[in-house]
Amino acid sequence: MRRTLLPAMTRRTFLASTTAGATLTFLHPFSAHAAAGQAHLRLMETTDLHVHVFPYDYYSDKPVDTVGLARTAAHVADIRAEATNSVLLDNGDLIQGNPMGDYIAYERGMSEGDMHPIIEAMNTVGFDAATIGNHEFNYGLDFLMKSMAGADFPVVLSNVATEAGAAPRDDTTLFRPYVILDRMVTDGAGEEHALKLGIIGFTPPQVMNWDRRHLEGNVTARDIVETAQAYVPEMKEAGADIIIALSHSGIGADAHTDGMENASVPLAAVDGIDALMTGHHHLVFPGPKYEATGVAP
Ligand SMILES: [Zn+2]
């Protein structure tokens, strides 16, 4: 390595970075250039996994190289080795979407204590937290709760409640609305610092229509932005240093309208949210499909 590439790097910082992973071949600039008293935290997201554990197309019954958490896991391992600090989050739509999902739901079933294969795979890769997508409700609440019970990671969802109160913070939510993770991050000088990472989750309130037969009379859903405005200050009061919103909601209009499905842009504007992860659209952003729908890249 030529020293001129990394002028600000001390020998100690370099050693701290290179010991992060035995397979390290390339230092990401964010890791390399963190100064003393400054730490970089890499955020990784998966979204809309739709039961794709293996790189296999169950419809055509053949291997494919375009899907599968098993393949993504290699990227996750590379980034973990390269970044000094990282977290891995999932944005929902896990348990429905391919024949294996239907097989588990309609043939094998989920008894108390059973493991859902996508959750088992996620436990193996090691996620820090996840939220719930709209398709999680497709097989009913009992199947959903039994599936998520196997997760080794916290599952957060703030805008679906089993008992609605007068305001969002008075709701009894189906899942915990948010979690505050205690993490240690390493700065550019190799010193460790405590960081409280707040993670909150949202799903489109349209689930009440899409899965009415499962949900009506059992849960209610709130507007995403309204719910965020209620909980984010509470997360700050609880000591969150950084707040990450897991938004199983697409990138839609800039202006907030009550109950909007794709609320990620106005959600990003909620005071106190530092980072936002989106999903649900199955589109690459920025990309031509967003330009076609009139959403600014
Ligand atoms: Zn979705």
| 286 has a pLDDT exceeding 80 | yes
What is the domain-level CATH number for residue 85?
A: 3.60.21.10
pLDDT classification of 285: cutoffs 50, 70, 90: confident
> 280: CA distance to ligand 1 center in Å?
4
257, 206 contact by CB (below 8 A): no
Q: Which residue range is the domain that position 246 belongs to?
A: 3-292
Whole-number Å distance between alpha carbons of 214 and 221: 13
Mean pLDDT of 181-203: 96
The beta strands (E) that lie in the chain are given as: 42-46, 56-57, 62-63, 86-90, 129-131, 155-156, 160-163, 172-173, 178-186, 192-202, 220-221, 242-247, 275-278
**Predicted structure pTM score:** 0.87
Whole-number Å distance between alpha carbons of 75 and 43: 13
Round the CA-based radius of gyration of the chain to a whole number and report it: 20
For the stretch 206-243, pLDDT in tens is 999 999 999 999 999 999 999 999 999 999 999 999 99
> 9: CA distance to ligand 1 center in Å?
43
> 133: CA distance to ligand 1 center in Å?
5
Question: What is the largest distance, in Å, between two alpha-carbon atoms of the chain?
Answer: 65
For the stretch 123-147, pLDDT in tens is 999 999 999 999 999 999 999 999 9
Does some domain include residue 54? yes
Does some domain include residue 297? no
Domain count, the chain: 1
Does some domain include residue 87? yes
Q: What pLDDT score does 5 carry?
A: 33
Whole-number Å distance between alpha carbons of 192 and 47: 30
Whole-number Å distance between alpha carbons of 288 and 254: 18
> 250: CA distance to ligand 1 center in Å?
8
Q: Which residues hold their Cβ within 5 A of ligand 1, which is an ion?
A: 93, 133-134, 280
Does some domain include residue 272? yes
| 7 has a pLDDT exceeding 90 | no
b/e burial code for range 60-77 (CB count within 10 A of at least 16 → b): eeeeeeebbbeebbeebe
Does some domain include residue 171? yes
Mean pLDDT of 244-256: 96
Does some domain include residue 115? yes
